[in-house]
Structure 1
């Protein structure tokens, strides 16, 4: 019996290794593979301001003026760690992201975040009010914890098939320090679930769904696309965010601010995007008017699809005439 209780040297070394590993894990958190480990002493409070720059000067092509006019949905923001993604470029949209990007419904996307919070992958969730114009500001106050230092957010472009602006996993912590201020220009993304080309396209589901992709001035390269500006290397920022750290932590007894700011609070960055005139294809030639041998002419026409704006190329001639050919003669009685 006594011999069976004596530990061999090998087993002692194994126990020692287990003890050392346990002690190391209790001593502090292990660094994460992608460098998002935050060792700040406590939480940080930020004011998040979302600004829409969607103006007819910056985006003149098919700018929606009514039914509905250009506007922004509610902003959805989530603080989290590297084990959660609200959305991710190059990946398929979740059902919640699809519903939000297509019709602005937040129920499913918030439900997914709540499930992740049970696994301690999500810290907090926030929503701001929508903005009824393409240009405007909304704000909310965020409380970010060291264990969930990443911020992801989405705002739907209204109207649009499934387009949104957003940020994926913005790290607000730099080692042991919280960042004091972060500004970020936003570009449009396609959720990959609707195949419409223009802001006001009817519902046209993409089957099978495609990955989330960034929309640029060149892609999609279809001339009908509302963001297709072949003369531009890059689209102007359609929106931006600014995060400013607050020195005080919010009082738990008070509701965090969540409101639309007047446009005079923050200066706008207007830019004029040249829009070249677009015309239709020529119509077929009409019948010859006049004598066929000499002096007779025939006509064809085209019409303006998109008028020029902001010093873009003017429209070409809309009517053209040419001499008659024998088979197009109109015989007079």
Structure 2
């Protein structure tokens, strides 16, 4: 086996110490406030240049937390089946199924709908520092395929000395989007499907959302993330520490055991330089997992085990 310098050992020690810090969990309330109205009805915020429908309303607010940006929703790309369903009908079932099946996602929660054009929807949510991104969507109803969205808002501030690294309360303007799945330019839910399908595009300053109040950039509402509190979870007694890796050393084919009750979400494999060489999402309910790393070069690797709120790092030798 190769000999490694003290500098390499130091790199490993730094990596392990970084990854063994306690993870943080924060509580926020998410408040969507709708300004949907005509300039005549609301001279300050009104933006709709055509009259609102007789039954203006908003679908339930669908919210997902996830680990990386654009893994749930991406502007300028084709709408997923879940986003299409929200934009066209307000139904959140398909979107929930997408989030549940997405290894990068953590939580899916639903806020209430709003049965009038203007008002607020409020939903409390607990967010893990392992999954700090928040995406959300709600249908502008009735409409062909128009909706509002927040895409991949990172709630981590980068300053662990304040709020355990979480952002203080802040507000974002939100704007209407077209899902690109149904034709139509008025407030109607009965329209032909777009052929060919388009991508998600902004309706900012586009009919009918091009009212006279340019000082507000024709926003249709705001979303406020109200920071409530946060805690650090304790890693001292952690079931992840009891996960076993064997054989170790190995020729690359290994088994992870004692996974039951570990809430293990993923295994990330790093090489000697700290570069991620493999990311392995973990399904629910596994008691053990077989991993083939035989394609990797011989040497020492670090396996970073991640659950919802915690992480643990274990050394693996491949010879």
**2:182 aligned with 1:194:** yes
State how far apart, in whole Å, the 1-side matches of 2:48 and 2:65 are.
Answer: 35
Does the aligned pair in 2 maintain the 1:102–1:162 contact within 8 Å? yes
The answer for the alignment partner of 2:273 in structure 1 is none
Does the aligned pair in 2 maintain the 1:44–1:144 contact within 8 Å? yes
Corresponding residue to 2:136 among 148, 153, 164: 153
Q: CA deviation at 1:227?
A: 2.4
The answer for the alignment partner of 2:253 in structure 1 is none
Going from structure 1 to structure 2, the CA distance change for 1:42 and 1:248 (only over 3 Å counts) comes to closer
**Over residues 72-117 of structure 1, what are the superposed CA-to-partner deviations in whole Å (9 max), with x where a residue is unaligned?**
110001111116532111111111111111111111111111112x
The answer for the alignment partner of 1:27 in structure 2 is 17
The answer for the alignment partner of 1:266 in structure 2 is none
**2:105 aligned with 1:115:** no
Give the TM-score taking structure 2 as reference length: 0.62
Corresponding residue to 2:87 among 101, 104, 112: 101
Structure 2 gaps, min length 5: 232-319
Q: CA deviation at 1:18?
A: 7.6
State how far apart, in whole Å, the 1-side matches of 2:223 and 2:213 are.
Answer: 27
State how far apart, in whole Å, the 2-side matches of 1:82 and 1:166 are.
Answer: 17
Going from structure 1 to structure 2, the CA distance change for 1:234 and 1:79 (only over 3 Å counts) comes to same
The answer for the alignment partner of 1:204 in structure 2 is 192
Does the aligned pair in 2 maintain the 1:155–1:165 contact within 8 Å? yes
Q: Which structure carries more strand by proportion?
A: 2
State how far apart, in whole Å, the 2-side matches of 1:64 and 1:110 are.
Answer: 29
Structure with larger Rg? 1
The answer for the alignment partner of 1:85 in structure 2 is 71
Does the aligned pair in 2 maintain the 1:63–1:70 contact within 8 Å? no
SS at match of 1:173: coil
Q: How many residues align?
A: 220
SS at match of 2:59: strand
